[in-house]
Amino acid sequence: MSDFPPPPNIQGNYTGSCVACMKGTNTGLVLVGDAAFVSAGLIALGIPQHQVQFVLAAATGHPDGELSAGEMPAVVRACASCARRAKMEVGLWPTVPVYVPPKPRS
């Protein structure tokens, strides 16, 4: 396959496929945070750095690549093996775990 990975679909979720390895999966997770947090999570899952901005834009509903400065939910399908590599867990779609950055306590 010379065209790997394929561009995300209009929902940015490669419907039915792991966002990192493109294998079909029925599991996923949600990253909720600012662009830096969500990007780090996507990179940890195995998405190449140069692809992250596109996945991020699509997964958060900003296909133009325009990202809000605040928190955003990025819902992605991810298979168990990619999540395990990222030290994250997945849930059976659509009951998926939500990851948020640790909040400093004052």
Contacting positions for Zn ion (CB under 5 A): 18, 20-21, 79, 82
Nearest approach in angstroms of CB 13 to Zn ion is 13
Nearest approach in angstroms of CB 21 to Zn ion is 3
Angle between helices 35-45 and 49-59 (to 10 degrees): 120
Give 5-63 as a DSSP string.
SPPP-TTSS-TTB-TTT--B-SEEEEEEE-HHHHHHHHHHHT--HHHHHHHHHHHTT-T
Nearer to Zn ion, 62 or 97 (CB): 97
Nearer to Zn ion, 22 or 67 (CB): 22
Nearest approach in angstroms of CB 46 to Zn ion is 7
Nearer to Zn ion, 23 or 94 (CB): 23
Count CB atoms within 10 A of the CB of residue 55. Answer: 26
Nearest approach in angstroms of CB 25 to Zn ion is 6
Nearer to Zn ion, 57 or 79 (CB): 79
